[in-house]
Amino acid sequence: MSDSAARPTPAPASPGRGGRPTGRPMRPLEALIGEPAGTRAPLVRELNAAADYLRFVRKEIAQLGANEIAKERLPTAIREADYIIEGAERSANAIMSAAEEVIAAKDLDPAAYQAFVAEKMTAIFLACAFQDLTTQRTRRIQSTLHTLERRMSRLASKLGTREIPNLVDYAPADSGELVADGPAAPGEGNDQTTIDHMFEEWSDVDWR
């Protein structure tokens, strides 16, 4: 028998805080249990397999980049969404204000009225420029969501995660329990004919 075959394999280092090795050899499970390995062999195998799986899960979670997502990507996406909302509100107010001023303009000679309308139309065009920034910011949010989806899908695939029922019951979007579901996607929601019919039905209602 060669020296390498006869030499016992050194025990792995015992993990310290945070899972980092401390340099001390890890005691075998059968020694910790205090009984011969033969009587506890199935349990030892199960515990070793569980430990291996936990190490694998920890490695995969580390590769998920949770800190980057939580500290950088998601806060940036939320901030971009806030900017989109604020920009849309400012632009809508500017457009409506300019339109109301044009409608309310009186006692102006044709030349002055033409100059006034041109000024307000320019203000409306400038207000519409927020769409360019909205597109850029939306793409950043989209990139973050795609990155998160891709990483979570990869983690679920490697862990062999199966879909489980939701722990929280959410009201269906069309159940009437939600006050506002937001704009409908193309091809979904009510068409104009349905909306017109609803107004016709409500025309006789006394809302006082």
Q: What is the pLDDT of residues 97-122, one digit of tens each?
A: 999 999 888 888 889 999 999 999 99
DSSP the chain: --HHHHSPPPPPEEE-GGG-EEEEEPPPHHHHHTS-HHHHHHHHHHHHHHHHHHHHHHHHHHHHTHHHIIIIIHHHHHHHHHHHHHHHHHHHHHHHHHHHHHHH--S--HHHHHHHHHHHHHHHHHHHTHHHHHHHHHHHHHHHHHHHHHHHHHHHHHHTPPP---SSPPPPTTSS-SS---SPPTT-S--HHHHHHHHHHHTT----
- HSE, CB side, 13 Å, CA atoms: give it for residue 67: 2
Q: What is the pLDDT of residues 114-167, one digit of tens each?
A: 999 999 999 999 998 888 888 889 998 998 888 888 888 887 777 776 665 555
Span 38-60, average pLDDT: 77
Q: What is the pLDDT of residue 62?
A: 78
Give the pTM. Answer: 0.51
Supply the range of the domain harboring residue 36.
29-64
Please check whether residue 114 lies inside any domain of the structure.
Answer: yes
Asked if 79 and 136 sit in the same domain, the reply is yes
Please check whether residue 204 lies inside any domain of the structure.
Answer: no
Asked if 69 and 142 sit in the same domain, the reply is yes
Asked if 105 and 51 sit in the same domain, the reply is no
The number of domains in the chain is: 2
Asked if 56 and 116 sit in the same domain, the reply is no
Asked if 71 and 121 sit in the same domain, the reply is yes
Please check whether residue 120 lies inside any domain of the structure.
Answer: yes
Please check whether residue 169 lies inside any domain of the structure.
Answer: no
Q: What is the pLDDT of residue 1?
A: 47
Q: What is the pLDDT of residue 31?
A: 56
